[in-house]
């Protein structure tokens, strides 16, 4: 009996240690995100946090213990601001606060590559230019006024999918987005337990972040991020079932 009890005690102690470590995961990720100064990534994280927060509140999981995580997150946020510098952050987010495209997209760089990609997509609408062909196709549509920068992706996942895979790929992407919306609604509405409903909201928060970020960047070309989208997609499909 003594031996069994000691093993159980060690297991409980280990579990408690992991439980405390889990409180650090979200603040550490947010700190790393803020240090990148990525405006699109930060706004995508805000979308995920809002959806996740509403989900936890609606399902009753947002309890007093989360206050500790909130305070810890604020401490990491203050640390990130001190490391980067308030002046740098103010300049970086000035365009967002003013809702000014001229400030957000200085030099018309993103809008130019979007226009070029849309023009190219219209020429390859039937079958697409081929997966991974964007770096070779885009320079053909750059005009003398275009940015001299060499683009490896379209700064918009939806436009790049349309260019490289044409109308068939665009239709498949639209069907996938529609399926995510329907599965999320059905999984939430017909959830057999609160845990299932909570899981549905959290998974939807992650997928919403990817969908939002895809509007201003091409995040899906990173294999690890594509794998995460596939995993969340699979989780949502199972919750829907």
3-state secondary structure 137-191: HHHHHCCCCCCCCCCCCCCCHHHHHHHHHHHHHHHHHHHHHHHHHHHHHHHHHCC
With 50 as the cut, is the pLDDT of residue 7 above it? no
What would you measure as the largest C-alpha separation in the chain, in angstroms?
Answer: 82
- Given a contact cutoff of 8 angstroms between Cβ atoms, the answer to whether 98 and 118 are in contact is no
User: Cα(87)–Cα(79) distance, rounded to whole angstroms?
Assistant: 15
176-187 average pLDDT score? 94
Q: Please, what sign has the CA dihedral across residues 88, 94, 97, 103?
A: negative
| pTM for the model | 0.73
With 70 as the cut, is the pLDDT of residue 92 above it? no
pLDDT band at residue 5 under the 50/70/90 scheme: very low
With 50 as the cut, is the pLDDT of residue 163 above it? yes
Q: Among candidates 214, 210, 207, which has minimal Cα distance to 233? A: 207
7-33 average pLDDT score? 64
With 80 as the cut, is the pLDDT of residue 152 above it? yes
Higher pLDDT, 118 or 80: 118
Return all residues near 107 (Cβ < 8 A) that are at least 6 apart.
147
Number of CB atoms found within 10 A of residue 39's CB:
14
Structure confidence at residue 69 (pLDDT): 66
Most confident region among 50-54, 193-197, 222-226 by mean pLDDT: 193-197
């Amino acid at each position: 009996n003594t031996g069994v009890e000691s093993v159980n005690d060690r297991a409980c102690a280990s579990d408690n240690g992991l439980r405390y470590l889990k409180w650090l995961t979200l603040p550490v990720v947010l700190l790393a995100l803020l240090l990148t100064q990525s405006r699109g990534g930060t706004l995508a994280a805000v979308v995920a946090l809002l959806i996740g927060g509403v989900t936890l509140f609606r399902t009753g999981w947002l309890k007093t213990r989360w206050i500790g995580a909130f305070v810890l997150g604020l401490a990491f946020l203050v640390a990130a601001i001190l490391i980067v510098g308030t002046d740098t952050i103010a300049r970086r987010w000035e365009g967002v606060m003013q809702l000014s495209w001229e400030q957000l997209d200085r030099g018309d760089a993103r809008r130019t590559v979007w226009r070029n990609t849309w023009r190219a997509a219209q020429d390859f609408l039937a079958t697409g230019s081929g997966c991974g062909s964007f770096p070779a196709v885009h320079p053909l549509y750059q005009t003398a006024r275009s940015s001299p920068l060499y683009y490896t992706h379209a700064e918009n996942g939806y436009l790049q999918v349309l260019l490289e895979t044409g109308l068939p790929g665009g239709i498949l992407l639209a069907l996938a987005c529609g399926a995510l919306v329907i599965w999320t609604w059905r999984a939430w509405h017909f959830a057999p337990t609160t845990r299932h409903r909570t899981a549905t909201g959290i998974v939807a928060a992650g997928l919403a972040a990817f969908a939002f970020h895809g509007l201003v960047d091409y995040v899906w070309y990173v294999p690890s991020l594509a794998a995460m989208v596939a995993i969340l997609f699979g989780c949502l499909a199972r919750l829907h079932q």
